[in-house]
Chain A
């Protein structure tokens, strides 16, 4: 952001976009004004449905048939893209303006080798022969930090990790030295450590090439880490834009302030540090292991020993009454597997002690245990039966675990407890927003007055602002009922705010458990330290 040349590389002027839908015209974008200069990174931040991805498709001229453009211009180095023919646009794409997508596992063709998919851009736009393109492709993979470029070229997408695939996608975006690149949530589908590395790579390549970058994200903290300027978009409107520092130090709009406040800040603890009574834990998990899959057919036939996939490897931990124990780890680390074992959804080996009782297998989980241990799932869309009314969903646990009298009254009370209107009882899940649905799921879990509630990534499918209110609700409920939480998440900043102790998991193993306050100490295990380092700092620290 040092020098600003006269014409911006990408300029969006008074641009609007509508979609024709069965229920009328939907205004996806309203009078957008944005510009990105050479060497600059503009962060575009918005929640789901804000229109940020629609804007990316508009720029790339890849709009569905029901899209209408009532006005405005999109200029790439002064040329209006709206006036270009299809053939001209095709020649632009990938050469002068390119894009990096959210999920590398779906944006790469599963049946073509990585090399083929990278080389085809070079053949298309730089006129290389296939052989030259292959050679050049290897050089590009080297440039994006892949260790064995030649071997990687020949691999199929399913043979590479998420991070490796995203590097290949980035390599093809940079392949023709475009003037502008759109990054659409390029790290959202990746694990914390990998996404940190991808972000570093992006910053490095951006500085090296000076490409004008539009970085789209829902994560304000992440954007402020790389971008020089930020634009906040909400319901198709740019609410506010300016330099990162100004936005954070002096937000002009309420919505921006809300967004900043909603970003979890580990320095701001939301629970009191109660004295942990380790003598009489509520739950003690003792050497619990979970294995997946059956023996392969031939092995079963020949009696050959095979290794089964381990979801959990002899996990031992304990949760005290009223405690919030956080579990963090990457996807596939076994966090959810443990939650499923504790709620009778997975077979396990080992023992679980609950309130002094020994649970050895699923059969030991009787009605009393199930009443005391409740689980809330990640996606409220999936965890509420779409064909049952809220009243039916909420009355089930009452019928199972308590007395079934005055059901309507009780269901209404439960809804109020989670700050929803009583009338929602008559609705179906699809008539509720994501945050409301998750509140219903919380109400269902609390219906039986449990002693332990397992929260399995319950905020990660929600927008930041909604996430903050859900967390607040959970903490209020905990204060009122004294329930213990096993809070599973990949969001370290959030868990540092609300947990008393944090357990770190990696590939089915428990790495360590530490008090939340000491999780960033230098005495922690190496993996924990890497994890802490990789997490984007909280928004407040940019001030």
Chain B
């Protein structure tokens, strides 16, 4: 494990990624405790303030402290994205592994169906699901998870297929092992590494997808401090203060870049050839 972390930190991507994701993690865990102001207190007198000692990143159109809102909104934005990605990954991994193991016509049918589902853009898919279930954070989570599942299924399947061809799986088949043993003990441990890499990168997509849903009014609802919603609300007032638009955008970008870099770093660290 120590060796693995050393390999991860060796590349600049890995090191910066770990740093950014750790930062995000700290904010998610301790954000509400660290926030200097109440995120939802309206203060008409202190609207559109620039950065100052009291308001590090200034205040928004209702005089709320942007820094505090960002610290508190991290949970809504990041935790949801991570959960949705994990749910989508599990669903996709299950379908992909099963498809690869079944092989033949069943595999073909499953994969063609997944291709078909993928022909609906994931944002549109999420929009439809959210609209169907009603706009809320949990529904947005379900929508993103379902939208991600087909892509993860494809990736899992292609990894699983290459593992399926390995002789250690052949050896297990020739030995007469049960399908469950082969999938769980022989294949799964070898399939997991590349899937974790892919999942990490997708977390950043999920963050953006969530933010986009909130932006379109179909995710978190005001006065929540969700970052995408903050950008959406800021649009009308951006002429008055660019800060209310810039800071949540930067926050989204930091999370997205962080997970992206971490994914790339993991890919290198998990590759036995380097």
Q: Do chains A and B touch in the complex (CB under 8 A)?
A: yes
Q: How far is the CA of A340 from the CA of B169 in the complex (A)?
A: 13
List of B residues within 8 angstroms of A268 by Cβ = none
Q: A377-B167, A379-B167, A382-B168 are in contact. Are A370 and B175 (CB under 8 A)?
A: yes
* B174 near A343: Cβ-Cβ < 8 Å: yes
List of A residues within 8 angstroms of B272 by Cβ = 430
* A383 near B174: Cβ-Cβ < 8 Å: no
* A396 near B177: Cβ-Cβ < 8 Å: yes
List of A residues within 8 angstroms of B171 by Cβ = 375, 377, 383, 444
Q: A377-B167, A377-B171, A430-B272 are in contact. Are A387 and B189 (CB under 8 A)?
A: yes
* B170 near A397: Cβ-Cβ < 8 Å: no
* B173 near A385: Cβ-Cβ < 8 Å: no
* A370 near B174: Cβ-Cβ < 8 Å: yes
Interface residues of A in 388-433 (CB under 8 A from B): 388, 396-397, 400, 430
When the two chains form the complex, which single residue of A367, A377, A430 contacts B170, counting CB atoms closer than 8 Å?
A377
Q: Mark B158-194, 1 if CB is under 8 A from A, else 0.
A: 0000000011101111111100000001100110000
**Nearest Cβ on chain B to A223's Cβ, whole angstroms:** 30
Say yes or no: is A344 at the interface (Cβ < 8 Å to chain B).
yes
Q: A387-B189, A387-B190, A430-B272 are in contact. Are A382 and B173 (CB under 8 A)?
A: no
Q: How far is the CA of A374 from the CA of B171 in the complex (A)?
A: 9
**Nearest Cβ on chain B to A361's Cβ, whole angstroms:** 15
Interface range, B side: 10 to 19
Closest to B171 in A: A383
Say yes or no: is A60 at the interface (Cβ < 8 Å to chain B).
no
* B173 near A344: Cβ-Cβ < 8 Å: yes
* B10, B166, B168: residue with the most chain A Cβ atoms closer than 10 Å: B168
Say yes or no: is A384 at the interface (Cβ < 8 Å to chain B).
yes
Q: A385-B186, A386-B190 are in contact. Are A396 and B168 (CB under 8 A)?
A: no
* B174 near A385: Cβ-Cβ < 8 Å: no
Closest to B178 in A: A400
Closest to B186 in A: A385
List of A residues within 8 angstroms of B170 by Cβ = 340, 345, 377, 383
List of B residues within 8 angstroms of A270 by Cβ = none
Q: How far is the CA of A444 from the CA of B176 in the complex (A)?
A: 14
List of A residues within 8 angstroms of B167 by Cβ = 377-379, 382-383
Say yes or no: is A365 at the interface (Cβ < 8 Å to chain B).
yes
When the two chains form the complex, which single residue of A365, A374, A385 contacts B190, counting CB atoms closer than 8 Å?
A385
Interface of chain B: mostly helix, strand, loop or mixed? helix
**Nearest Cβ on chain B to A384's Cβ, whole angstroms:** 6
Closest to A385 in B: B168
* A384 near B176: Cβ-Cβ < 8 Å: no
Closest to A456 in B: B167
List of B residues within 8 angstroms of A387 by Cβ = 189-190
Closest to A393 in B: B168
**Nearest Cβ on chain B to A177's Cβ, whole angstroms:** 39
List of A residues within 8 angstroms of B189 by Cβ = 385, 387-388
* B190 near A396: Cβ-Cβ < 8 Å: no
List of B residues within 8 angstroms of A344 by Cβ = 173-174, 176
When the two chains form the complex, which single residue of B168, B176, B185 contacts A370, counting CB atoms closer than 8 Å?
B176
List of B residues within 8 angstroms of A386 by Cβ = 190
Q: How far is the CA of A377 from the CA of B174 in the complex (A)?
A: 11
Q: How far is the CA of A51 from the CA of B172 in the complex (A)?
A: 36
Q: How far is the CA of A432 from the CA of B174 in the complex (A)?
A: 24
Q: Mark B80-105, 1 if CB is under 8 A from A, else 0.
A: 00000000000000000000000000
Closest to B192 in A: A387
Q: How far is the CA of A430 from the CA of B168 in the complex (A)?
A: 14
**Nearest Cβ on chain B to A120's Cβ, whole angstroms:** 31
Q: How far is the CA of A374 from the CA of B175 in the complex (A)?
A: 7
Q: Mark A488-516, 1 if CB is under 8 A from B, else 0.
A: 00000000000000000000000000000
Q: A377-B170, A383-B167, A385-B168 are in contact. Are A397 and B175 (CB under 8 A)?
A: yes
Q: How far is the CA of A377 from the CA of B165 in the complex (A)?
A: 13
* A400 near B177: Cβ-Cβ < 8 Å: yes
**Nearest Cβ on chain A to B116's Cβ, whole angstroms:** 18
* B166 near A382: Cβ-Cβ < 8 Å: yes
Closest to B189 in A: A387
Q: How far is the CA of A250 from the CA of B177 in the complex (A)?
A: 53
Closest to A342 in B: B174
Closest to B173 in A: A345
List of B residues within 8 angstroms of A367 by Cβ = 176
Closest to A381 in B: B167
Q: How far is the CA of A365 from the CA of B166 in the complex (A)?
A: 21
Interface residues of B in 185-227 (CB under 8 A from A): 185-186, 189-190
List of B residues within 8 angstroms of A377 by Cβ = 167, 170-171
Q: How far is the CA of A344 from the CA of B172 in the complex (A)?
A: 11
**Nearest Cβ on chain A to B200's Cβ, whole angstroms:** 20
* B174 near A375: Cβ-Cβ < 8 Å: yes
Closest to A378 in B: B167
Q: How far is the CA of A475 from the CA of B163 in the complex (A)?
A: 32
List of B residues within 8 angstroms of A400 by Cβ = 175-177
Q: How far is the CA of A207 from the CA of B166 in the complex (A)?
A: 45
Q: How far is the CA of A379 from the CA of B189 in the complex (A)?
A: 20
* B176 near A365: Cβ-Cβ < 8 Å: yes
* A396 near B175: Cβ-Cβ < 8 Å: yes
List of A residues within 8 angstroms of B176 by Cβ = 344, 365-367, 370, 400
Interface residues of B in 57-111 (CB under 8 A from A): none
List of B residues within 8 angstroms of A365 by Cβ = 176
When the two chains form the complex, which single residue of A366, A384, A397 contacts B168, counting CB atoms closer than 8 Å?
A384
Q: Mark B45-59, 1 if CB is under 8 A from A, else 0.
A: 000000000000000
Q: Mark A360-375, 1 if CB is under 8 A from B, else 0.
A: 0000011100100011
Closest to B166 in A: A382
Closest to B169 in A: A385
**Nearest Cβ on chain B to A293's Cβ, whole angstroms:** 12
List of A residues within 8 angstroms of B10 by Cβ = 22
Q: How far is the CA of A67 from the CA of B174 in the complex (A)?
A: 45
Interface residues of B in 107-122 (CB under 8 A from A): none
* A344, A379, A444: residue with the most chain B Cβ atoms closer than 10 Å: A344
List of A residues within 8 angstroms of B166 by Cβ = 382-383
Q: How far is the CA of A382 from the CA of B172 in the complex (A)?
A: 12
List of A residues within 8 angstroms of B175 by Cβ = 370, 396-397, 400
List of A residues within 8 angstroms of B186 by Cβ = 385
Q: How far is the CA of A446 from the CA of B173 in the complex (A)?
A: 17
A sample of 24 cross-chain residue pairs with beta-carbon separation below 8 angstroms, ordered by A number, consists of: A343-B174, A344-B174, A345-B173, A345-B174, A366-B176, A370-B176, A374-B174, A375-B174, A377-B171, A378-B167, A379-B167, A382-B167, A382-B168, A383-B166, A383-B167, A383-B168, A385-B186, A387-B189, A388-B185, A396-B172, A397-B175, A400-B175, A400-B176, A400-B177
* Chain A residues within CB distance 8 Å of chain B: 22, 340, 343-345, 365-367, 370, 374-375, 377-379, 382-388, 396-397, 400, 430, 444
Q: Which 9 A-B pairs have the closest CB atoms?
A: A383-B167, A370-B176, A343-B174, A387-B189, A377-B167, A382-B167, A385-B168, A382-B166, A375-B174
Kindly list 4 other residue pairs between chains A and B, CB separation below 8 angstroms, not including A22-B10, A367-B176.
A344-B174, A375-B174, A387-B189, A387-B190
